[in-house]
């Protein structure tokens, strides 16, 4: 039986670190289910690993057991989150653990799901399986913060990102490129880790972005594109509109004539009508609720100046990445300056400079 006095060895920590890495690699790709990592060890040797499948099923424990070609009797399982014990679309992981004759289960964090929370202990203990918990708890709780936020708030976990030049410009007609290739790769990693990405139609029309993940081998994990477009003024010859289908693109609008609505629907775009406030802006909280109901759990927002400042003021971002380049951009023609630095520093007190070897670019994470 698990107690607060459970002691763990360096080997225990090593195996749980591997389980955490497995969970991290699937973050943003397990649908409404949390991304879980699992490692099975016997005689101090890893005999199997598992992680939550894409879209959330089967679970990590089931996959680790299924992937093992050795006798599991007497083995030890390390799993980042409390194993499930309820019947859903798949059988409980506790059933698989019991049938496999695993003798000990070490999990890090107790599940927030009421159907599971602290129930797996009793079920496994009743079958004489040793259960311990709390290994790397603080580290792994931090990883599961987006999942806990999803479950408690019924909203997507929102990450913001903006890139600025040395003189705080986010757009210049003369030179559009702000950050270097190393920062670009980090941006694409963020896109990989989020199931949806949001911009406004102004950004779409000005930059004609692709919003996809272009890391080698990860291209098929690009996020769904979400466009805020009050009157459906997005350019229909843009990359986003031309490459849309009913699975990868949603546009929130408020008022548009029937011909425009028909034109966008014919492109395969999902249109969602949503209300606007007195300032002629969308109610972002309503949109977030609709996105959650649509299945979005991790939302990346790559907004322009106005959208970003509005969301900063209302503390919509759960975390925010500020990319800063050492380059200055020209103000001689058309340009846009980011005017939200003071708001960012006022609203988000915790900040961390990320040392990612970005060759002169700098990224600061705000929480």
Residues with a known catalytic role: 61
Mapped onto helix, strand or coil, the DSSP state of residue 239 is helix
DSSP assignment, residue 56?
A: G
- In angstroms, the CA 251 to CA 354 distance is 33
Q: From the CB of residue 124, how many other CB atoms can be counted at a distance below 10 Å? A: 24
Write down how long the chain is.
367
Pair 41, 19: CB distance under 8 Å: no
Distances (CA, A) of 145 to 43, 92, 108, 137, 210: 33, 23, 14, 12, 29
Give the integer Cα–Cα distance in Å for 88 and 94: 13
What tokens appear for 91 in the block? 């059988």
Beta bridge partners of 324: 164, 362
250 touches 229 (CB < 8 A): no
Task: Compute the distance between CA of residue 223 and CA of residue 341 in angstroms, rounded to an integer.
Answer: 27
Under DSSP, is residue 227 helix (H, G, I), strand (E, B) or coil? strand
């Amino acid at each position: 039986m698990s107690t607060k006095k459970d002691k763990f060895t360096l080997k225990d920590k090593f195996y749980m670190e591997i389980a955490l890495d497995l969970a991290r690699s699937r973050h943003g790709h397990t649908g409404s289910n949390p991304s879980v990592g699992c490692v099975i060890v016997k005689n101090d040797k890893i005999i199997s690993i598992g992680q939550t499948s894409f879209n959330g099923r089967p679970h990590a424990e089931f996959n680790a057991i299924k992937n093992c070609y050795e006798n599991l009797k007497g083995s030890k399982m390390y799993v980042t989150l409390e194993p499930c014990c309820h019947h859903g679309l798949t059988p409980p992981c506790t059933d698989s653990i019991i049938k496999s004759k695993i003798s000990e289960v070490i999990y890090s964090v107790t599940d927030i799901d009421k159907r599971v929370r602290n129930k797996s202990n009793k079920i496994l203990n009743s079958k004489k399986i040793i259960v311990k918990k709390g290994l790397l708890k603080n580290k792994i709780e931090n990883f599961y913060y987006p999942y806990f936020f999803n479950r408690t708030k019924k909203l997507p976990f929102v990450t913001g990102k903006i890139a600025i030049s040395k003189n705080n410009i986010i757009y210049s007609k003369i030179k559009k490129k702000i950050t270097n290739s190393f920062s670009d790769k980090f941006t694409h990693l963020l896109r990989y880790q989020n199931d949806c990405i949001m911009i406004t139609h102004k950004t779409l029309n000005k930059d004609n972005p692709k919003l996809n993940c272009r890391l080698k081998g990860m291209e098929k994990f690009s996020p769904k594109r979400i466009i805020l477009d009050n009157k459906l003024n997005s350019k229909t010859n843009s990359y986003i509109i031309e490459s849309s289908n009913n699975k990868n693109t949603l546009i929130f609008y408020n008022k548009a004539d029937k011909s425009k609505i028909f034109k966008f629907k014919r492109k395969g775009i999902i249109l969602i009508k949503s209300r606007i406030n007195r300032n002629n802006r969308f109610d972002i909280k309503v949109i977030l609720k609709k996105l959650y109901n649509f299945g979005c759990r991790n939302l990346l927002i790559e907004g322009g100046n106005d959208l970003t400042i509005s969301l900063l003021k209302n503390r919509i971002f759960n975390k925010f990445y500020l990319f800063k380049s050492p380059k200055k951009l020209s103000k001689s023609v058309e340009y846009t300056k980011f005017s939200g630095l003071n708001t960012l520093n006022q609203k988000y007190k915790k900040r961390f400079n990320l040392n990612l070897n970005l060759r002169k670019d700098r990224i600061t994470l705000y929480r």
